[in-house]
Every structure is written in structure tokens, then in C-alpha cells.
Amino acid sequence: VQRNVVLRSRLNGVVATPQQQLRTCNAYPYEAAIDIFRGKEKLTTDKQLPYRQCRDFDVSLKENDKLDFKIGNVTTGTFSVSELPQSNALLLLVIYRHDVESTAVSFESHMFMADEPNPQVAVIDTFLGTTAFRPIIYSGNLSETLRFGRVISLSPGDYAIHLQNDANATQDVVPVRARKGDKYVVLRSGIQAQRGPSFQQDGMQNAFALAESPSRHCKKGKQRAAVDEMNFSTHWNT
């Protein structure tokens, strides 16, 4: 049984923890990659974060930390951190376009708790446009339709996530090997823009089905649905 995990508006940021990892996904459709700063500290020291890629950062976030996202010398958005949980966690932060008419940014965020033993999967949709395709998880002969904007918990094992429509036409398939304790991101991106460049709808591809624990890169997945109720937060800048 899949329970709803509703996206919440919260303008002052989201929960974060000391000595946690930060996972950032760039779903902001633009040719130039972004730089990420915490105050004056540049997190993207090795290289910028391109569109449709995710990266883990070893940082210890503190209350009132501000994460600035820049393209060149221009700050495109700022995310404020508030409230520190008492246990280790992984903060997932996704930057994307707020709407088709402006270049304002929004953020999707979720806190993965480190002590959760089962694999967890955040299923996120940042595509701005019209589409009839939806994610469906397969495990052997079993299948279940997933909902975007949810976090699911599953048993370790092999899965496949299909992007399908009502006619069972498949746009994309991603194989998944879910491992104990890992945290995954399934993300659809793209925009049919009225201002700025348009980017076609991108399925849930390997580049976006990014990793789990700090040292390993994987994909994403879920079994026949034991879904824990977990929260996303939505935050946007004008």
C-alpha cells in the first residue's frame, strides 16, 4: 500500500543535520553549469555541476546556512537551511525552474535519515510541460505505479523503473540494483519554456538515477511498495 507523501511549502528552508552529506541535483535547464557556495566557501571546487547531474558533498550544515547557486557571477537562487535533526542524515536538494514563464528557481528537498536500513528512493518530477507518462516499478512479475513527489522504502534486490503511458508505451527504462541502506534519486527533468531555452522532457535516466551512499554510484528502484511516509519541502526564489 502506497501512502501519500505530500510536497510541503516552506519558505525558510528545510531540516538539515551536522556532519551530514549534501546531495545536490541540477535540474535547472540551462546550457551553463552551476557553482554552489556555502557563504564564501565554494563547494564545486573540482568542477561545476552541469544540468542533469547530481553530486555528493562532504559538508556539515548548520542552522541558517545559505547555499547560493550561481551561473557565472550571477546568483540564480539561494537555499536557507533551518532546524538541525539530532541524527546523521543526507540532505537531498534539487534545483529546477519554477515555471515556464520566468527563469526563477525552485528547490525540492528531502532529508534521508542515515539510520534507515532499507534502500530509499526519492521520486521527483521537475518537468514543466504536458506529458502522459508516469513511473512504474517492476520486480519480476510484480509491478506498481509510483507517484512523483514521494519517497519509497523497498527491500534490497533488482528492479526496473519504466516511464509509461496509459497505452503501455514505454519512454524510458532504468534497471535498478537496490542495496541495503542506500539512498537513491529518480528524477524527470525538462521544460517547455515560454521564456528562455526549452529542453525536451528527459526520462529517468542513469545520470539522474544517482547514487546512494557516499562512495558508490548507482541508480534507483523499489519493490512492491512498502512506502514510508516521508516529506519533501518546496522552496522557490523569485
Query: What are the tens digits of pLDDT across the range 131-176?
Result: 888 899 999 999 999 998 888 888 999 988 888 888 888 888 888 8
pLDDT at 17: 39
Per the structure, the complete domain to which residue 220 belongs is given by 7-237
pLDDT at 188: 86
Residue 183 lies in a domain: yes
Residue 1 lies in a domain: no
Q: Which three cell numbers stand for residue 183?
A: 539512498
Our count of domains for the chain comes to 1
Phi, psi of 67 (to 5 degrees): -105, 115
Closest CA relative to residue 223, chosen from 138, 141, 112, 164: 138
pLDDT at 89: 85
Residue 118 lies in a domain: yes
pLDDT at 86: 77
**CA 228/CA 106 separation, integer angstroms:** 25
Residue 2 lies in a domain: no
Residue 175 lies in a domain: yes
Closest CA relative to residue 52, chosen from 71, 27, 20: 27
Residue 155 lies in a domain: yes
pLDDT at 13: 53
CA distances from 12 to 1, 60, 106, 132, 237 (A): 32, 19, 13, 33, 11
- With a cut of 70, list the residues of the chain below it in pLDDT: 1-20, 84, 193-238
Which strands make up the sheet holding 105-113, listed edge to edge? 7-9, 232-237, 105-113, 89-97, 20-27, 53-59
**Overall pTM surpassing 0.85 (yes/no):** no
Residue 192 lies in a domain: yes
Residue 79 lies in a domain: yes
